[in-house]
Amino acid sequence: MWRSRWDAGVLKAEALALLPCGLGMAFSQSHVMAARRHQHSRLIIEVDEYSSNPTQAFTFYNINQGRFQPPHVQMVDPVPHDAPKPPGYTRFVCVSDTHSRTDPIQMPYGDVLIHAGDFTELGLPSEVKKFNEWLGSLPYEYKIVIAGNHELTFDQEFMADLIKQDFYYFPSVSKLKPENYENVQSLLTNCIYLQDSEVTVRGFRIYGSPFLDWVPKKMQRVGCVELLNTVQRRVQPRLHVFGHIHEGYGVMADGTTTYVNASVCTVNYQPVNPPIVIDLPTPRNS
């Protein structure tokens, strides 16, 4: 699902990234917002030697560079839901991995809702319609959504292969007729849907992509070294929002970028993790 544009073995992650308007933007094979700061406009991110083994990459870079521990990165407490928004700020409410379990979620006040994928179980049109109805009930000024690996019907190539093989893992999906899902994105009428595309809201340029991490074995680290290098060394967005790995819920920061794993569901698919609130100063030219 969501085939990688890199060489075999390279891993991807569904994500959205934000940066204030006015900074340059360009696109590459990476699947994050490709807005470059001027000094990084010619920086090319090569495929990492540990690309196919994230566990080894984590161990190597942590031991040799301390890259994933203080002072390079810090755990961050999200904004309390009842905290007043500072004047001149935009409040982002971040969620992901709701998996058709939105009823118990207490949604806080905010300006922009970001849903970073996996809003259904299988991407069935009935699930998408229900999710869209939930979005329509929310009061946010902007609602921005990307697909995740569970939105099977949003990946036309995967669906074509699935129907040919009658893949037994997804019988309810494989029985769908093409005309039932060919334009499934059009069911999302109550949000801005991004798929390798961008939008500008309140002066922020937001790029969204559904490409995913691959979990080869349990109890191993997963992720994309190239995505991390692109975010940290070239893009350097203000905010990087993602999900998919339910166990990784929480917020970290490296001094430039705030990283938000907004998975609402736990590893047992219980929707108990609260939405994460992040306040950012609204760009003056918005």
In a domain, 218, yes or no: yes
pLDDT of residue 26: 22
At 168, the pLDDT band (50, 70, 90 cuts) reads low
- Pick the residue with more confidence: 123 or 38? 123
In a domain, 6, yes or no: no
Place of tokens 């005309």: 179
In a domain, 35, yes or no: no
Query: How many distinct structural domains can be found in the chain?
Result: 1
CATH number, domain with residue 66: 3.60.21.10
CA distances, 242 to each of 46, 112, 136, 192, 264 (Å): 22, 15, 22, 17, 11
pLDDT tens figures, 218-275: 667 777 888 888 888 888 999 999 998 898 899 999 999 999 999 999 999 999 999 9
pLDDT at 129 over 90: yes
In a domain, 130, yes or no: yes
Residue-range definition of the domain harbouring residue 82: 16-24+43-281
In a domain, 229, yes or no: yes
CB 206 within 8 A of CB 16: yes
CB 190 within 8 A of CB 177: no
In a domain, 8, yes or no: no
Mean pLDDT over residues 102-121, rounded?
A: 97
CA distances, 202 to each of 17, 18, 206 (Å): 14, 11, 10
Mean pLDDT over residues 82-104, rounded?
A: 97
In a domain, 59, yes or no: yes
pLDDT of residue 225: 86
Percentage of the chain lying above the pLDDT 90 cut? 54
What is the average pLDDT score of the chain?
A: 83
Residue 262 φ/ψ, nearest 5 degrees: -100, 25
pLDDT of residue 174: 76
pLDDT at 3 over 50: no
Percentage of the chain lying above the pLDDT 70 cut? 81
In a domain, 157, yes or no: yes
pLDDT at 216 over 80: no
Cα(249)–Cα(259) distance, integer angstroms: 10
pLDDT tens figures, 9-41: 233 345 666 544 322 222 222 333 333 444 455
Cα(159)–Cα(142) distance, integer angstroms: 30
